[in-house]
Amino acid sequence: LKAHGRFGLDRALAPAIKYAEGGFPVAARVAWDWRHYVGKLKADPGAAKHYLFNGAPPREGDVIRFPALAATLKAIAAKGARAFYEGEIAADMVATVAAAGSFLTAADFAAHRGEAVTPISTNYRGLDLLEIPPNAQGLTALAMFNILENFDLAALDPVGPERFHLVLEAARLAFALRDSHVAEPSFMRVKVPDLLDKGFAKKLASHIDMDKRSKLPGAPTPGTDTVYLTVVDRDRMAVSFINTLYSHFGSGICTEKTGILLTNRGACFTLEAGHPNEFGADKRPLHTIIPALAMKNGRCDMSFGVMGADYQPMGHVQIVNNMVDYGMDVQQAIDCPRFFFEGEQTVVETGTPAATVAGLEARGHDVVFALTPWGGAQTIKIDWDRGVLVAGSDPRKDGCALGY
């Protein structure tokens, strides 16, 4: 807000305070998700107090309120962002995690500062894709674009087995790259420009066999409690924003006084000795959340993101492929059937053509159908020539595309 905004934190937080205090109705998808995690919430006194209602999850259409969170947000609005990291709110978080055996102290909270970072980027068929640098996983999406640039995707059926197979193999290579190298930047052994070198990507692409699934390294199993949103204002300032607790309801631990659910991002560390992402003091883990922007001719062409933990880079690539290689509009690009992998299994969404599933199996993929949809995307494309914004929102979630 200080660098780019027009008003203060008090005004920016006013709508969140209004809904936390006055209540809001629970949407269908949120209610569906919530009821699966009652056991996790009941296991923690703070979580049970603030996120269950008479011991039960809310139903679709129930109006729910978060008075403790409203008071927390009011304090931050009145005293500024440091009120979260110092004073009563921070003390409540420190006491809560200390009771669970955490090493975090009040000094750790007080010393924390966010960073303004320079995005990393690559060019894919004339479009400059911008991603968050390490310790986030944006490099994974850019590596995939660099690999796929060596293939003629436009010649492949967008929902056919050849396209699914190719992108899956590129993803497996890019995620192996991520899992080997991405960490707190000062601990990384290979520089980002070297990992995004086009010549290196060409060598990676040579490992892909279009007729069969190759023996490549696996990747972690996704889990998600993430929200993505994007806004473009009248001056064409684009905001691509993502926020997360990582797993559903994060760690499942909630502060009893202030109502703050605590993240479990530490799960993204590894305990492998000597690995750049090894758990340790004064380090941030590999981070999966990656808002994105696409630039063309020096201007923002598109602001977009896809929820879904480890799936996010795959989601970025699929949406851009759908638009750049197949000419889909933003909503078509979002709606198109998705696919990913969990360990050695290939996981496809319901709605994937039977012939595509058969074609993947013929190439050695162990195909299963996803129990829930992959990710959730929001996209705004800026049409500079006609002076309009074109937006799409994922039917897999409760979001919407809205002009106002």
Catalytic residues: 226
**DSSP symbols for 316-338:** HHHHHHHHHTT---HHHHHHS--
Taking each continuous run of H as one helix and of E as one strand, the counts in the chain are 15, 13
- 368 — phi, psi (to 5°)? -130, 160
* Residue (of 133, 121, 195, 170) closest to 314 by Cα position: 170
Q: Is the Cβ–Cβ distance between 220 and 227 less than 8 Å?
A: no
The neighbour count for residue 127, using CB atoms within 10 Å, is 16
Cα separation values, 400 from 11, 26, 235, 391, Å: 23, 15, 22, 9
Q: Is the Cβ–Cβ distance between 65 and 259 less than 8 Å?
A: no
What 3-state class would DSSP assign to 15?
helix
Spatial distance between the Cα atoms of 392 and 377, rounded to a whole number of angstroms: 8
Token couple for 19: 């809904």
